[in-house]
Each structure stands twice: as structure tokens, then as C-alpha cells.
Amino acid sequence: MILVHERIEQIRIEKGITKSFLAKKLGMSSMGYHYLSIGRSPISTDRLQVIAEALGVDPRVFFDPKLNESVSCSGSKQQTA
């Protein structure tokens, strides 16, 4: 079973979104996001919603393996700063 923080990173990479972009969206430092991305910091529901919006996905994809395929299939690369 894939963990939520691992799924977030998988989608982030598939969509070509940088860690620094997500850190800025979350209002946190790059190091703060690093801890979140490796599972050392908990992810609140509010932050999960912000991450989902930044990645352009429904937050349920982080929890439902059946929805994961739809993200991978439609994971067109986006250019971000």
C-alpha cells in the first residue's frame, strides 16, 4: 500500500511540478516541505486540499488506488516555477 506522502510525490513528479512550487503554495520553507514529502511531518486536511489544488487533482486520489490510474493516464506535464 502506498502512503499519502508517497502518492503526493508520485503525482508531483508525473505532473512536472517542483517541490519549491508546492512549498510556496503551502506557505512553508523548502525544508518544511521536504519533511512533509518524506513523511516526517503530518499533513493536515487543509494542506492536503492545497496540495490537491496545486496538483490539479481531487484529494481522494491520495487515498483510493482505483483513482490513481486516472491521474497517471491524464498526467500531462505542466510547466511551473
pLDDT digits (tens, 9 = 90+) for 35-73: 999 999 999 999 999 999 999 999 999 988 776 665 655
- And the C-alpha cell for 48? 492536503
Please state, in angstroms and rounded to a whole number, the distance separating the CA atoms of residues 35 and 78.
24
Identify the pLDDT of residue 71.
61
Q: Please name which of 4, 13, 32, 8 lies closest in space to residue 80, comparing C-alpha atoms.
A: 13
Identify the pLDDT of residue 72.
59
Identify the pLDDT of residue 81.
46
pLDDT tens-digit readout, 7-37: 999 999 999 999 999 999 999 999 999 999 9
CATH match for 4-73 among 3.30.420.40, 1.10.260.40, 3.20.20.150, 3.40.50.720: 1.10.260.40
pTM across the whole model: 0.80
Q: Please name which of 72, 31, 80, 74 lies closest in space to residue 54, comparing C-alpha atoms.
A: 80
